[in-house]
Structures are given as structure tokens and as C-alpha cells.
Amino acid sequence: MAIESLERSLDLFGAPLYVYHEIVHNKYVVERFKRRGVVFVESLDEVPEGSPLLYSAHGVSPRSDRKRAAGV
């Protein structure tokens, strides 16, 4: 599901597309997405304001989600 969601998001938004943490623990899949313009970040501060952002399949804490929604 996570890979399909990322594929669809790339089709919809194009690159760059930011993803908070790696979506799966498979370096080959992650590298394939990086070549297509996906930027995996470890901090929400790394995502430019207004950029499309997906969360990893593991989700995020409610605090992180609220901070992103508030633009912090």
C-alpha cells in the first residue's frame, strides 16, 4: 500500500515529492524512488513550505502532524 501510494502521488504531484522517513526497509525500492525525484527526510524542517509530503507507512506522532499542518 505504501509503495502504491507513493507511485500515485508521484503521478499526481510530480517531483520533488518529500517523504518523512523511508517508506519501506528495502534499499532497492528506496533508491528507485530517489532516482524518480523522491526526497526522503528525517525532519519536517527539511521540507520546503508548500511542498507535497507523504508520511512513511509507520506514521508520525500526532505532534509532528499538527506541526506540519500549522506550518511550523
Residue (of 14, 15, 19, 13) closest to 3 by Cα position: 19
Does the global pTM surpass 0.85? no
CB 59 within 8 A of CB 37: no
pLDDT in tens, 2-28: 899 999 999 999 999 999 988 888 999
What are the pLDDT digits (tens) for 21-62? Answer: 888 889 999 999 999 999 999 998 999 999 999 987 666 656
